[in-house]
Amino acid sequence: MSEAPRTRLFGRMKSGLFWRTFLLLSFLTGLSMASWIGMINVFQRGPQAEQTAELLVSVVTLTKAALTHSAPDLRTELLFELVSNEGIRILTLEPDDKVEPPPSNALMPEIAAMVRQRLGKDTRFSRKVNDMPGFWVSFDIDGDKYWLMLERDRLAGLTRVQWLGWATVVGALSLLGAALISTLINRPLARLTAAARSIAQGKRPAPLPEKGSQEIIEANRSFNQMVDDLQQLEKDRAIILAGISHDLRTPLARMQLEVEMANLSQEAREGMQSDIAQMDAIIGQFLDFARPTETATFVPVDLSELLDDCAHTAARLPDVRIATAIEPGIIRVPANATDLRRVFNNVIENARRYGKTPGTEITQIDIACQVKMTGHGRRAVVEIGDHGVGVPDDQIQLLLRPFTRLDTARGQANGAGLGLAIVERVITRHNAELQVRNRDGGGLVLQFSFPLAA
């Protein structure tokens, strides 16, 4: 895994509510298991040692009694029955027996002390006698010493491996339960987040289910109502825009006709025509700013071809010089071609008006497009820049605010101050990113980062 995806994964695990809930539940489960095992170990230790000691004493006492009171000719048969039926083996204790120490576990000292208290201080224990494994206990009958061997399975509790196995199974089940609980808790919030993201992208999300806890029901119901209100607001705005376009531009058309027919001097006529054209342009800016971009109209658009067309159109202007660096091949992005063309033409026109090369009446515009790897994956990156005087760094963000015009070289507009605000609004609807910065050597650069079409 490359560095960028790994960083995004760790960031998601660090900040995601699912992972926070999952890790918290896992920590609490692990802490509970550790406490549970510790309590069992503490409270079970005494009874388990006492039970094992009692078993050993009972077996030795019964075996000793059986051997003592049985007829000598039946002892061989008795010993055979003890081995075959009870897993108990009796051997004579010899001084040269090869004896290994008893099992080394936490209970053995307590078991040995209890057994010796009942059977005598000389009682010995071993885990292997003469290379024969088992649990060995010594006892005597009338001064003769013997070994009694029990199979370890009759005495052994849960071994460390068994404890580890049970803990692993319980831990895995607990983690699965924590993941399930985290999913159930965070699923309504994930739905709400996805729906909010759809609205931010200009889409209409499906209604959220109004079920679950009371808080979830109220939140989803309020969100659904908000979506319906926004949809109605969009419809009302479309009607208002249609009315504004008709009611304002119709009088402007009449004024334009009257100016043409009026007996005016050429200078006065040109001045009035310029004012009417400026008013029409301002109305157009308002309409462009208020007009929604429908994501349903998005289709794969060849960004390279679109930029080439915009560059060729701008190159026809007498005061514009275009330099392009567009990556060969087809670069497709999901977009509305008309809106993107309006954005690029708006940026080029803005550069033409306010980005003229100092000391000349010519605007040098650079247009570049290529596919790059960014923090959001592979993106189509477009840069449009001029060679003008630029904008003070502390005022760059003001360019993107609606109805804002600067008092510097780029603030000499006669419009409403909506040019770059319209650009940012359309770009945001396209799930793209816009960055504005000063160009090294002078001038302003606008960088657009578009997601590639699937």
Other CB atoms within 10 Å distance of the CB of residue 2: 7
Task: Say how far apart CA 274 and CA 264 lie, in whole Å.
Answer: 14
Q: Which residues contact 190 (CB under 8 A, 6 or more apart)?
A: 18
Report the predicted TM-score, pTM, of the whole model to 2 decimal places. 0.48
- Do residues 385 and 446 lie in contact, with contact meaning Cβ atoms separated by under 8 Å? yes
Task: Say how far apart CA 282 and CA 275 lie, in whole Å.
Answer: 11
The two tokens of residue 424 are 């940012």
Tell me the CA end-to-end span of the chain in Å, nearest whole number. 22
Task: Say how far apart CA 449 and CA 424 lie, in whole Å.
Answer: 12
> Angle at which helices 3-15 and 17-69 pack, to 10 degrees?
80
Task: Say how far apart CA 29 and CA 17 lie, in whole Å.
Answer: 18
CA–centroid distance for 355 within its chain: 42
pLDDT recorded at residue 156 = 52
Task: Say how far apart CA 97 and CA 329 lie, in whole Å.
Answer: 90
The two tokens of residue 300 are 């794969």
Looking at residue 99, what DSSP letter applies?
Answer: B
Phi, psi of 213 (to 5 degrees): -70, 165
Which residue in the block uniquely carries the two structure tokens 């319980």?
170
> Angle at which helices 266-290 and 419-429 pack, to 10 degrees?
30
The beta strand positions in 251-376, using DSSP E, are 299-302, 320-326, 332-335, 363-374
pLDDT recorded at residue 409 = 41
Looking at residue 357, what DSSP letter applies?
Answer: P
- Do residues 68 and 156 lie in contact, with contact meaning Cβ atoms separated by under 8 Å? no
Helical spans, DSSP H, in 70-146:
75-81, 108-119
Cα angle 157-163-166, degrees, rounded to a multiple of 5: 120
Which residue in the block uniquely carries the two structure tokens 């607990």?
174
The two tokens of residue 69 are 């009171």
One-letter amino acid at 42 equals V
pLDDT recorded at residue 151 = 76
Task: Say how far apart CA 291 and CA 339 lie, in whole Å.
Answer: 10
pLDDT recorded at residue 307 = 93
pLDDT recorded at residue 419 = 62
Q: Which residues contact 79 (CB under 8 A, 6 or more apart)?
A: 90
3-state DSSP assignment of residue 111: helix
Buried b (16+ CB within 10 A) or exposed e, 179-210: eeebeeebebeebbeebeeeeeebebbeebee
One-letter amino acid at 158 equals L
One-letter amino acid at 180 equals L
Task: Say how far apart CA 125 and CA 100 lie, in whole Å.
Answer: 9
Phi, psi of 122 (to 5 degrees): -85, 0
Task: Say how far apart CA 284 and CA 415 lie, in whole Å.
Answer: 10
What are the per-10-residue average pLDDT scores of the chain (454 residues)? 51 61 79 74 70 83 78 66 73 84 79 86 87 86 82 59 71 80 81 84 81 84 89 76 71 81 81 78 65 69 92 91 91 88 88 88 92 88 91 79 53 51 81 88 91 86
Q: Which residues contact 146 (CB under 8 A, 6 or more apart)?
A: 90, 91, 92, 93, 138, 139, 140
3-state DSSP assignment of residue 169: helix
CA–centroid distance for 229 within its chain: 31
pLDDT recorded at residue 417 = 46
Q: What is the chain's alpha carbon radius of gyration, rounded to the nearest angstrom?
A: 44
Q: Is 440 exposed, middle or buried (0-12, 13-18, 19+ CB in 10 A)?
A: exposed
pLDDT recorded at residue 440 = 86
Task: Say how far apart CA 141 and CA 448 lie, in whole Å.
Answer: 98
Other CB atoms within 10 Å distance of the CB of residue 425: 21
Task: Say how far apart CA 426 and CA 183 lie, in whole Å.
Answer: 35
Query: 200 vs 17, 71, 427, 428, CA distance in Å?
Result: 21, 97, 12, 8
pLDDT recorded at residue 122 = 85
pLDDT recorded at residue 412 = 45
